[in-house]
Chains A and B, each alone.
Chain A
Amino acid sequence: MIRAISIRALYAIVLLIAVLVLNFSMLHLAPGDVADTIAQASGGADPEVMDQIRRDYGLDQPFLTQLGSYIVKVAKFDLGYSFFYNRPVTDLILERLPATLLLVISAQLLALIVGVVLGVISARNPNGLTSHFVTGLALFGYSAPVFWTGILLLIAFSLNLPIFPSSGMRDVTIEGGFFAHTVDVLHHLVLPVIALCSVYLALYSRLCRSSMLEVLGSDYVRTAKAKGLSEGQVVYKHALKNALSPVITLAGLQFSAVISGAVLVEAVFSWPGLGTLAFQSIIARDTPTILGILFFSAIVVVIGNLITDLVLRMIDPRVGGKA
């Protein structure tokens, strides 16, 4: 187990270095730089000012010098300084992280729970109403873009039936203590979570349904039934445990979508998370921030895969016995 983890950690470090070099080089290939976007945000800038910006931020240095100094910095756990926001990148990321985690984890958990329940119900009665509902839902979830779902939710539940706020994570005009603020955040959370959840839900319910159907048809389930076990015991204790492993693998992979999946939802609901920051930084060509976020997401993916692996080992003894 420990050996397995350390081998993975080694791979991870190599991977992270590759991510760094690759991202840095790719960003460097694009024409133009942050001096242009700073000029854009200013409504124009004189050429001396733009040259000054390039000198100040070392953008006039040769490529390898820039790359070298960046890697040295990251090795010292310093993600650099954002030219665009005039703040250290680590601060920017940590400030935005909680909002994104709250959104993504809530949506993931909700999707996982509801998806598995719907999947199981529809698998037990593959031609029933619920089954058709799940298929329909999955089709909708796959095909409807989240920003569209988001706008629809906004029009329905924020404009026509104004029960949820349209944007942001909190209402700063609210007075009251911790409880009032928590309720306020949850209130703001509902619509974004539903929008983001719609994609995951489609994936999980569909996968759980087919995986469950397969397991329910297998020999050991028939054996369990023949032994005279109750339906519930067969389904939830024997079948579901096995049917879950592809769902968990998928959920682990989806974890990498912490940033990518949330971008659109965050944009529609003005959710102050990492996705919005990533998007804005790309638009602004704010290289240190983009690199920082990409690096950070790479770490999240590596950790997410590690956790998935461990969870799978726990529920399925066949996995990783030899490694």
Chain B
Amino acid sequence: MKSLVKNLLLAAAATTMLVTSSIAEEAKRGGTLVAALGTNVRNLNPAVQSGIVTGFPGTQLFAAPLRYDDDWTPQPYLAESWNISDDGLKVTLNLVKNAKFHDGKPITSEDVAFSVDVIKANHPFKAMFAPVESVDTPDAHTAVLNLSKPHPALMLAMSSQLMAIIPKHVYGDGQDAKTHPRNTADVVGSGPFKLVEYKSGEHVIMERFDDYFIEGRPYLDKMVLKIIPDPAARTIAYENGEVQFGAFEVVPQNINRLKKASGLTVTPQGYGAIGPIDWLAINTTKGPLKDKRVRQAIAHSIDKNFVHKAIMRGTAANAATGIHPDSPFHTADVPEYELDLDKANALLDEAGFAKDGDGNRFDLTIDFGWKDVKPQVEYVKAALKKVGINVTVRASADFPTWAKRMGTMDFDMSWDTVFNWGDPVIGVHRTYLTSNIAKGVWSNTQGYSNARVDELLEMAGKETDPEKRKALYTEFQQIVADELPIYFMNTLPYHTVYSDKVGNPPLGIWATSSPMDKTYLK
């Protein structure tokens, strides 16, 4: 038995080597990759600025302790190995010995400890490192994170843009890290590319860092990120070859158009960890919406198929829960609500909201925060009309106006998009915890409170056994899908576009929020 396992392992290793060597043969050094960026970057330092826009240049400029490919298993990066103590309270990182910052100074455990401090103080996601109480630095290449409780989310939090290792000798000069001048100019990072020029609204130019700690990489000599905010102009730029690569394309019409273009590949692969989900948020503290049956009736009145096929034009996948379908913690085993107007009417009658003489039951409002989702809310209005619910669409002048309404729970229903950000602890818990009700936009703005859900999330947050953890999240997803504080609709149709000339585009779980040291030009 043992030898069989061994043989299998050997065979697997051999296959892996074959695969890697065939990639290595193809990969070639040199060239300039011109990529499109749809939004202006405001900050290049991921330690203080979250978001997918900073993530792209940020993960090229700064390395993290770990990295992920497409299967959610942590891979060594700045940490060549790591070790978690049996009680889960000590995480030891053994750093790569030859790693240097772009100014030539070595990357040490001091920098890791410093980066954790800066991230804890400035990063918008407190949940990532909240249990980290201190970082010990027994020697220059060992960092030990001391935790107050087991924290499995730490593995994803130590990857991608979430834990950029920044140089203490540059950012530790006493200036406020959030507004540090070196966040946008003269950036000294630890990643595969170093900054050449950043022009707000125009471009970010980066070139190969020759002393990068992974031998022979990156393959590209230069990366130019062109800032092209208009989606139509960006589509043309892909088509005529002015840019060879871009991510986070989200407009269904443009995606379908690009799919037909020759010499381009358009794929939704690679967004599992970012995990963006479109949903209908329901304020569970307001009038008829307090009743679970009303919320279920609303779900039964909405034809998801219409949203997927007609509005998203087949570019988006179904989302049945608040955890992205690509995540290992997602479960498809939850109640779904097929279009069934009879059932919806029956549920509403049962809840005590009978139709009046004109066939109306009650009035509701629906909000939306950005124009792209206007068709969805107009559709909800039309769909609910059929079961006697009068919906008024409330537009917001801009994002802050909408955010204010959401954050203060001044709404009945709203279309919303929320990101998972890797581990559920980081981006999922915030929407359901009783302790996080109405704490600003993208908190628990549904006013949802369920003691069992709170308990499940609390346990899942510190459960180190992946199977048990998955079971806890499965139960959580089933409860939420039954109680419907949110009716989950679809994944946001993020797509990556790349020309045939591009080899190894970043299609792992973190999309462009991951180092592109393996990307090359054919």
A159 an interface residue at 8 Å Cβ cutoff? yes
- Tell me whether A285 and B230 are in contact (CB under 8 A): no
Nearest chain A CB to B388's CB is how many angstroms away? 32
- Tell me whether A40 and B421 are in contact (CB under 8 A): no
Nearest chain A CB to B429's CB is how many angstroms away? 11
Q: When A44-B418, A155-B236, A283-B399 are in contact, do A168 and B443 touch as well, CB less than 8 Å?
A: no
- Tell me whether A270 and B403 are in contact (CB under 8 A): no
A9 an interface residue at 8 Å Cβ cutoff? no
- Tell me whether B201 and A282 are in contact (CB under 8 A): no
Q: Which of A26-49 contact B (CB under 8 A)?
A: 30-34, 36-37, 39-49
Contact of A272 among B183, B199, B236, B400 (CB under 8 A): B199
- Tell me whether B203 and A168 are in contact (CB under 8 A): yes
B52 an interface residue at 8 Å Cβ cutoff? yes
- Tell me whether A270 and B228 are in contact (CB under 8 A): yes
- Tell me whether B237 and A167 are in contact (CB under 8 A): yes
B114 an interface residue at 8 Å Cβ cutoff? no
A56 an interface residue at 8 Å Cβ cutoff? yes
Contact of A268 among B127, B230, B407 (CB under 8 A): B230
Interface size (A, Cβ < 8 Å)? 51
- Tell me whether B49 and A42 are in contact (CB under 8 A): yes
Q: Complex formed: what's the CA distance from A113 to B227 in Å?
A: 33
- Tell me whether A46 and B125 are in contact (CB under 8 A): yes
- Tell me whether B226 and A31 are in contact (CB under 8 A): no
A267 an interface residue at 8 Å Cβ cutoff? yes
- Tell me whether B441 and A85 are in contact (CB under 8 A): no
Chain B residues with CB under 8 A of A282: 398
- Tell me whether A48 and B200 are in contact (CB under 8 A): no
- Tell me whether A169 and B202 are in contact (CB under 8 A): yes
B178 an interface residue at 8 Å Cβ cutoff? yes
Contact of B178 among A37, A40, A56, A270 (CB under 8 A): A56
Q: Complex formed: what's the CA distance from A166 to B123 in Å?
A: 36
- Tell me whether A39 and B441 are in contact (CB under 8 A): yes
Chain B residues with CB under 8 A of A172: 197, 203, 205, 224, 226
- Tell me whether A272 and B202 are in contact (CB under 8 A): yes
Name, among A33, A46, A95, the residue most crowded by chain B CB atoms within 10 Å (CB to CB). Answer: A46
Nearest chain B CB to A153's CB is how many angstroms away? 11
A143 an interface residue at 8 Å Cβ cutoff? no
- Tell me whether A31 and B440 are in contact (CB under 8 A): no
B43 an interface residue at 8 Å Cβ cutoff? yes
Instruction: Mark contacts of A280-301 with chain B using CB atoms, 8 A cut-off: 1 yes-contact digit, 0 otherwise.
Output: 1011010000000000000000
Nearest chain B CB to A132's CB is how many angstroms away? 33
Which residues of B pack against A, CB within 8 Å?
32, 34, 39-40, 42-43, 49-54, 122-127, 176, 178-179, 183-184, 197, 199-203, 205, 222, 224, 226-230, 232-234, 236-237, 239-240, 242, 397-405, 407, 418-419, 421, 427, 430, 439-443
Mind listing 30 A-B residue pairs with CB under 8 Å?
A30-B397, A31-B400, A31-B405, A32-B402, A36-B404, A36-B407, A37-B400, A37-B403, A39-B124, A41-B51, A42-B51, A44-B124, A44-B430, A45-B50, A45-B125, A45-B442, A46-B125, A47-B439, A49-B122, A86-B178, A86-B184, A151-B233, A154-B233, A155-B236, A159-B239, A166-B233, A270-B226, A272-B201, A276-B229, A280-B40
Given contacts A49-B123, A95-B200, A172-B224, could you give 20 more A-B pairs where the C-beta distance is less than 8 Å?
A: A32-B402, A32-B404, A39-B442, A43-B50, A44-B124, A45-B440, A46-B127, A48-B126, A49-B124, A50-B440, A86-B179, A95-B199, A96-B200, A158-B236, A166-B240, A167-B236, A168-B203, A172-B205, A270-B228, A285-B400
